[in-house]
Amino acid sequence: MTKTAAARKKGRISIASRLGVPVLFMIAILVGEKAFHPTGLLRTYLDAGFFFFAGLFLVRFFDVLILAWYARQEKPFPLPVLLHSLILAVFNLVILFAILKNVLHVNLTPYLATSAVLTMVIGLAFQGVMGNVFSGMSLHFTKTLGRGDWVAIATHEGVVLDTNWRETRILDRNSNVVIIPNSVIATERIINYSRPDHRTALHFSFKISASAPAGDVLEALLETARDCTHVLKEPSPKAYLASYDETGLSYILKFWIGDFGLKDIILTEIGRLAWYKLRRRGIQVAVSWTDRIRELADAIEAARPAGEILDQARSRIEDTSAVERTAAILLASSFLRDQEGEGRLMVGDEDLHSLATRVRRSNYAKGEVLCRQGEKGTSCYVVGRGRVHGEIVYEEGGKKFITEFAVGPGGIFGEMSLFTGLPRTATGVVTEESELVKIEAHDFAVLLEGNVQLAEVIAEMVTARNAQNKEFLKKIKELSEKDIEHGTNKKSVLEYLKNFVRSLKK
């Protein structure tokens, strides 16, 4: 038996039991009257009992009809269980009082007066309880919160576990169950992060050095939001310059998420990605006054002749070390090596050392997107440390497929766009903290200028590779027929590379 069938069977049993009880009492009374023919006061009591159970049957019958309609429409019943039971109890009391007055001719005035006093005493004794009950009803009718909603109530933030006639329970971010009386909730400010839908905007504030160009900072922050996998694409992220003072400029990154439960994880991811992106742009996050005073003291010391000489010598040592590290990465990689032969280098070691002085070597955070499929690109990345995940989306037979690959230390990502100018054929995402050397078109042009035959060798290598993969390239919708023809034509690729060199002389 399915769950639905079992639920229907259980519902039929419940309906039968609710309607069956008053029906059985009515039948019993009718049978008793027919069998014993009671008279006088006993007959009056039996009639009163029959009318009471008949009224009880009618109340329950209409209640069952209403509940069945909501069940058939697959809609939740709008009344909480407590209020539903109270309303039924009021109807039953009305029937009871009507029978007492009109059938048994009982004077209810003394009883009502006594019950009013008793009700007042009970009401005062249970004032707090009744406050919670009515507050719970109000919360239910207004649909302020519900099970599974992420809410902030006063100083508490968490997900609603349950709400009943007396209290609401939430599981906070410390995995503690917080029990809040409904009367307290009714007087507090409530923020429901799950309504009207699950999209919620978050803000992350940054204090940046005043020397950093505002345009570069805003661009880095927006790029950060786009690279974070948990940030929604729509509405699109926004970055603002909020204020500035003597400690730096204040920026705000606003973005939307779909799962408020991941707030802390997402904010950490945003902060981590932003740190890497800002540092690669040479942008310094504002530091404390202690650090600024130390920097000022160092600057004063550096202004002295001896300090200036020492500082310059230290700078030359650091620069030399950085260039040697970059050159070592390039030499150990497959960049400009003959893939068909024994992996011999197409240029001299000194050429790669010269290239190392111009290119940028930077650290990248896990999750950063290097490029997206279909974008224009005139650069490539050499992996010194870490790993880059590549993903190619293509279509075949009207269906979409994905091919994945990984590039580790010594590998290259995006070189085809650098060599041919074609749109990116893959999306590249950093999968662990990595050290990458980015080679731009201008830096590569200087290398070509000093190696006359290099362009022709690269053009032949690239076109042969593209010709071999031509059928696969046709499945990538971002590549037009013109792009594929250009990428498989040696003359076109060679002309493109020569334009690099010509651009240096302009």
pLDDT at 117 over 80: no
pLDDT tier for residue 251 given thresholds of 50, 70 and 90: very high
% the chain with pLDDT above 90: 36
User: What pLDDT shows up at residue 309?
Assistant: 41
User: What pLDDT shows up at residue 200?
Assistant: 93
Task: Answer whether 163's CB lies under 8 Å from 179's CB.
Answer: no
- pLDDT-wise least confident of 34-48, 68-82, 126-140, 147-161: 126-140
User: What pLDDT shows up at residue 316?
Assistant: 47
pLDDT at 227 over 60: yes
DSSP string of 65-76, one letter each residue: HHHHHHHHTT--
- Span 201-286: which CATH code? 3.30.70.100
Task: Average the pLDDT over 8-14 and give the result.
Answer: 55
For the chain, give every domain's residue range: 13-125, 142-192, 201-286, 329-504
Alpha-carbon distance 475 to 394, whole Å?
5
pLDDT tier for residue 204 given thresholds of 50, 70 and 90: very high
pLDDT, tens digit, 9 for 90 and up, residues 47-72: 888 888 888 888 888 888 888 887 88
Token duo for residue 384: 């010194």
Domain spanning 329-504: CATH superfamily: Jelly Rolls (2.60.120.10)
pLDDT at 314 over 50: no
DSSP string of 95-157, one letter each residue: HHHHHHHHTS----HHHHHHHHHHHHHHHHHTHHHHHHHHHHHHHHHHT---TT-EEEETTEE
- pLDDT-wise least confident of 19-28, 408-417, 418-427: 19-28
pLDDT tier for residue 23 given thresholds of 50, 70 and 90: confident
pLDDT at 139 over 70: no
Alpha-carbon distance 256 to 252, whole Å?
13
Task: Answer whether 418's CB lies under 8 Å from 441's CB.
Answer: yes
For the ranges 8-17, 347-356, 367-376, the maximum mean pLDDT occurs at 367-376
pLDDT tier for residue 505 given thresholds of 50, 70 and 90: low
User: What pLDDT shows up at residue 268?
Assistant: 94
Which residues does residue 400 pair with via DSSP β-bridges, in sequence order?
395
Task: Average the pLDDT over 5-18 and give the result.
Answer: 59
User: What pLDDT shows up at residue 398?
Assistant: 85
pLDDT at 437 over 90: yes
User: What pLDDT shows up at residue 317?
Assistant: 43
- pLDDT-wise least confident of 112-116, 305-309, 343-347, 450-454: 305-309
Q: Count CB atoms within 10 A of the CB of residue 359.
A: 21
CATH classification number, 142-192, choose in 2.60.120.10, 3.40.50.1100, 1.20.1260.10, 2.30.30.60 = 2.30.30.60
pLDDT at 485 over 80: yes
pLDDT, tens digit, 9 for 90 and up, residues 264-303: 999 999 999 999 999 898 888 765 555 556 655 665 565 5
pLDDT at 241 over 70: yes
Alpha-carbon distance 204 to 189, whole Å?
23
pLDDT at 449 over 90: no
Mean per-residue pLDDT over the chain, rounded: 82
Return the DSSP state at 261.
G
% the chain with pLDDT above 70: 80
pLDDT tier for residue 29 given thresholds of 50, 70 and 90: confident
